[in-house]
Structure 1
């Protein structure tokens, strides 16, 4: 791979954006490699969690403006390019395994959007988030119109998008964007600890929870209660649930524990 590094260890996939000389800005090569990794992960049952991070002292500075400026696309060309991007983005958002973004330094523009596509964001004190699109007369992309309002609410999302102001790690945590803030030197270890904990989780329960939470923001009460009933029936009938109940009744350690 040219613009990313991908590896799997102990059931955890690590996807590292690897253009540190450009602060890991997204170019066409990186987008294609992200697409290929997400496609591979979608059907890989040997991987139970994904970590996305950036090489060097940045998560992702956004789209590579040099590449955008020289693309030479017309309106239909840009629309086709975004449609291709959205294909793998939808697969990432629907991935039936936990996705953890480990963010150090700037997550700007599409870099911020990519982090928002994760289920958890672990950040260092020097992480900075910015919907920077307005600074170049553009609009948020990489799914931000879908993800950000669902996390911070529509009014705050409009503020962050229209102001293009920088949000430091502590404020991002207060807004619900960041789950945890950890020292720079422990960022990767903490992300891996969280990812590895899901080796003991029920893959079926993880998948159903992610799907149900996504559906909840666009569904009514009756729809969500139906989803709950159908999902619970599925998990109650699987071997993992039977084993977990047996362990509980016999006072044995559970198979899954969230690492404190």
Structure 2
């Protein structure tokens, strides 16, 4: 089960990315199930708010590194991955129910994008956000280029996305990529408490106000996402990406040999 859902009587659902052994990286199954689940929850008339978190020590490590070498040579697999990334973004843009992120561990790449598409972000004090696409030879095309400039500034987005540098929790709050940095042992309770506060509000007013506010995100996504994903797909053809993918494959084979 790549996603866990726990619903409570107060209209709050906790959705947990559930691949802890892989730091909740998005494989094909999670890419397929996540948009489907978001659509299903959005159609549930009893739900008023969602808390999104990760199992284990990470929120989400983003893309599945096991696919790196394959994407360098398999055009169809790469094309499917770009479509899958678009579906995840569309699911976050389309859901009317407010989503509160409880970032319990590293939120990296697509994981970071997922957090920044949430409506309110609580982050554990001891963790970080990062978008290292460029550092592994890829264009940052799956949504970060849309959310970061809108939430921070264009200059700050360039500084961190072009270098892949980690953004500690406190700085993420300072820059506007998260709302609250809290002790790790309080994170989920704080996020759920806030979700209950939203759930107690009139649902039509909440959901349609969220949809109006998300027009800013939709406009940014419309302007950047198509070009970004096309450019990210093209990144897989570069010599730099091939070298990084080969290095990852050697390390993975080395770990498998020692196991």
- Superposition TM-score, scaled by structure 2 size: 0.77
Residue in structure 2 matched with residue 45 of structure 1 by the alignment: 45
Per-residue deviation at 1:67?
2.7
Contact 1:114 1:142 in 2 (8 A): no
Per-residue deviation at 1:199?
2.4
Distance in 1 separating the partners of 2:163 and 2:175: 16
Contact 1:12 1:48 in 2 (8 A): yes
Aligned partner of residue 51 in structure 1, secondary structure: strand
Distance in 2 separating the partners of 1:76 and 1:150: 32
Residue in structure 1 matched with residue 195 of structure 2 by the alignment: 195
Q: Greater RCO between the two (CA within 8 Å, min separation 6)?
A: 2
Aligned partner of residue 114 in structure 1, secondary structure: helix
Distance in 2 separating the partners of 1:120 and 1:165: 23
Distance in 1 separating the partners of 2:72 and 2:150: 34
Distance in 1 separating the partners of 2:96 and 2:61: 27
Per-residue deviation at 1:17?
1.1
- Superposition TM-score, scaled by structure 1 size: 0.77
User: In the superposition, relative to structure 1, how do residues 95 and 73 fare at CA in structure 2: closer, same or farther (>3 Å)?
Assistant: farther
**Larger mean Cα displacement after TM superposition, 125-134 or 72-81:** 72-81
Residue in structure 2 matched with residue 147 of structure 1 by the alignment: 147
Spell out, residue by residue over 1:121-145, the C-alpha distance to the aligned partner (whole angstroms, 9 max, x if none).
Answer: 1011112111111121012243222
Aligned partner of residue 164 in structure 1, secondary structure: coil
Contact 2:32 2:84 in 1 (8 A): no
Distance in 1 separating the partners of 2:45 and 2:196: 14
Contact 1:113 1:141 in 2 (8 A): no
Aligned residues: 218
Distance in 1 separating the partners of 2:25 and 2:7: 23
Per-residue deviation at 1:214?
2.5
Spell out, residue by residue over 1:179-227, the C-alpha distance to the aligned partner (whole angstroms, 9 max, x if none).
Answer: 01111111111111111122221122112222222335788xxxxxxxx
Per-residue deviation at 1:44?
1.4
Does residue 7 (structure 1) correspond to residue 36 (structure 2)? The answer is no
Distance in 1 separating the partners of 2:36 and 2:94: 15
Contact 2:39 2:95 in 1 (8 A): no
Aligned partner of residue 26 in structure 2, secondary structure: coil
1:73-152 to structure 2, matched below 5 A, reads 74-75=74-75, 77-152=77-152
> Structure 1: which 5+ runs fail to align?
220-260
Distance in 2 separating the partners of 1:62 and 1:216: 24
Distance in 2 separating the partners of 1:218 and 1:72: 30
> Structure 2: which 5+ runs fail to align?
220-259
- Runs of 4 or more above 6 Å deviation: none
